[in-house]
Amino acid sequence: MRRLRTTHALTALILLAGCASSVEDCDPHRVNNVFTSLSCRASGGFADHLEAARKEVEVLRQRVALSREEALAADRQAAALVRNRSAFQRKIKDDEQALTRLESRLKTAKAGNDRERARLKVLQEEMNAAFMTLEELKGGKRTQEEIVRLQADIAAKQRLIDIGLAPPAQE
């Protein structure tokens, strides 16, 4: 009878241990009980636990592969940004050189304009002097030929002033 009670107690204990086990409870590294171990083997809990662990490992591998792809994409993007930056810096340098050349041309043009204004001023003064000489000649005893020559000279200088060209400065 005593034996029967012990057998019933063991059977009840095994059944209860089998009912209480789940996939998480069937971790081979955590099971420290013979009855739970037997229950996990009998119910397939160990296999389920291993399958869940394999799935988790596969998910982690996929995440690692995705992370690597993202890292490669980020590296490619960084390299493209470096190339774009270098190209942009070259363009800035070229633009700065072009600006320097334009500034130089502007200074040269301004100097040329200043010289041209000075030449036009000299021409205007020469024309005024020719007018005064003509007026003196009209009042004095000059020949008609000298008067015509001075009038032609004045007209030529006036045309040059009108079109903006000054004759070369005479020394």
Q: What is the pLDDT of residue 168?
A: 52
Q: What is the pLDDT of residue 151?
A: 82
Report the pLDDT averaged over residues 39-65. Answer: 80
pTM: 0.36
How far is residue 27 from each of residues 17, 52, 58, 100, measured CA to CA in Å? Answer: 14, 11, 18, 77
In the predicted model, is pLDDT for residue 170 greater than 60?
Answer: no
Q: How far apart are CA 132 and CA 98, in angstroms?
A: 51
- Chain segment 102-146, per-residue pLDDT in tens: 888 888 877 778 888 888 888 888 778 777 777 776 666 667 777
Q: CB-side exposure of 126: number of CA atoms within 13 Å? A: 22
Residue 171 vs residue 36, higher pLDDT: 36
- Chain segment 60-100, per-residue pLDDT in tens: 999 999 999 999 999 999 988 888 888 888 888 888 898 88
Any idea where the domains of the chain sit in the sequence? Answer: 1-43, 44-163
**Which two tokens mark 44?**
């397939």
- Chain segment 21-32, per-residue pLDDT in tens: 555 566 665 656
Q: How far apart are CA 89 and CA 36, in angstroms?
A: 71
